[in-house]
């Protein structure tokens, strides 16, 4: 089975976010990681390969340093990496990212497309779905369990208040939710092997795209940080008094209960 996995490099989830002198998100000094949801997608691809045989290709569009995250995916066991990196892509939106990734996938043969259901940086949860639409693939989003048989995917997905089991014909897009699996750590052997695996870097022009085609439609006007919260008011007293006083505050001051 040929499996393609879309991945993105993001800020470490523990990163403290600040703004630089130009009011943009400060990127200096922030650790970069594989988007945690994409890590579930990579792991799932590896498990499916172990079960059914085949090949796993990881694909990303991003800055040159994205290669570090992709090397980690190769070290986990992915077979090939394709990174689209181009100065013209800076500031691109979901529409543009999806166009770029769909061009890469259009040149590949695959049976299954996996991705994280959202990235923890922009949280927009659009790119993989847009790619699926561009390629005419069915999708199952926010998946916590997946089996592949007879050219079909059977996936359990989160819905509000429960879950549902959905079947779709392959090729299809499946997006990973936490709970799907526990991603493995790369082994030392894996890390050594990763450096020898095929790693293709592409520019926009090599994909037949130009800067105008990926010009962002969504324009950021400004970034801001959440307003600092007022200092915490500690409710004094032993537990019984404190509980009574808190209850009174929630009723009379905060007017919530």
Nearest in space to 173 (alpha carbons), one of 221, 219, 125, 205: 125
Counting residues that bind another protein (by CB under 8 A) gives 78
Among 94, 101, 113, 194, contact with another protein (rule: CB under 8 A) = 94
Least distance between another protein and beta carbon 23 (Å): 10
Interface with another protein, residue 98, by CB under 8 A: yes
Q: Which is nearer to another protein, 165 or 192 (CB)?
A: 165
- Rounded CA gap, 101 and 97, in Å? 6
Binding-residue pattern over the window 131 to 170 for another protein, x denoting contact by CB under 8 A = -xxx---xxxxx-x---------x---xxxxxxxxxxxx-
Residue 197 CB, shortest distance to another protein, in Å, is 28
How far apart CA 128 and CA 217 sit, in angstroms, is 18
Q: What token pair was written down for 4?
A: 């393609």
Which is nearer to another protein, 196 or 252 (by Cβ)?
252
Nearest to 56, CA basis, from 45, 66, 47, 64: 45
- Are 222 and 108 in contact by the 8 Å Cβ rule? The answer is no
Alpha-carbon torsion (68, 70, 30, 188), positive or negative: negative
Q: Whole-angstrom Cα distance, residue 147 to residue 130? A: 23
The residue from 47, 130, 184, 201 that contacts another protein (CB under 8 A) is 130
- If 0-12 CB within 10 Å is exposed, 13-18 middle and 19+ buried, where does residue 204 land? buried
Asked if 52 interacts with another protein (CB under 8 A), we say no
> How many residues does the structure list for the chain?
257
Nearer to another protein, 74 or 117 (CB): 117
Residue 29 is a binding residue for another protein (CB under 8 A): no
Q: Which of residues 214-253 bind another protein (CB under 8 A)?
A: 217-226, 229-230, 232-235, 239-240, 242-244, 246-251
Of the two residues 54 and 138, which places its CB atom closer to another protein in the complex?
138
Find where tokens 């390629």 sit: 135
Binding marks (x or -) toward another protein, 182..201, rule CB under 8 A?
--------------------
Q: Which two tokens stand for residue 66?
A: 């994205």
Stretch that binds another protein, among 43-51, 80-88, 116-124, 195-203 (CB under 8 A): 116-124
């Amino acid at each position: 089975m040929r499996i393609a996995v879309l991945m993105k490099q993001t800020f470490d989830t523990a990163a403290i976010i600040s703004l630089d002198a130009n009011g943009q998100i400060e990127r200096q000094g922030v650790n970069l990681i594989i988007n945690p949801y994409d890590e579930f997608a990579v792991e799932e691809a590896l498990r499916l390969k172990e079960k059914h045989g085949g090949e796993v290709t990881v694909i990303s569009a991003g800055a040159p340093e994205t290669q570090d995250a992709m090397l980690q995916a190769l070290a986990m066991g992915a077979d090939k990496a394709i990174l689209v990196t181009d100065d013209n892509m800076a500031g691109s939106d979901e529409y543009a990212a999806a166009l770029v990734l769909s061009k890469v996938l259009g040149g590949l043969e695959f049976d299954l497309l996996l991705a994280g259901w959202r990235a923890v940086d922009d949280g927009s949860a659009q790119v993989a779905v847009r790619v699926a639409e561009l390629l005419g693939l069915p999708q199952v989003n926010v998946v916590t369990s997946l089996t592949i048989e007879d050219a079909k995917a059977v996936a359990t997905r989160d819905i509000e208040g429960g879950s549902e089991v959905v079947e779709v014909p392959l090729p299809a897009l499946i997006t990973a939710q936490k709970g799907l699996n526990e991603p493995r750590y790369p082994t030392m052997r894996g890390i050594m092997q990763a450096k020898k695996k095929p790693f293709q870097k592409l520019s926009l022009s090599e994909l037949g795209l130009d800067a105008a085609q990926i010009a962002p439609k969504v324009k950021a006007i400004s970034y801001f940080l959440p307003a600092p919260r007022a200092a915490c008011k500690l409710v004094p007293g032993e537990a019984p008094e404190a509980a009574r006083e808190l209850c009174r505050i929630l009723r009379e001051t905060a007017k919530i209960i």
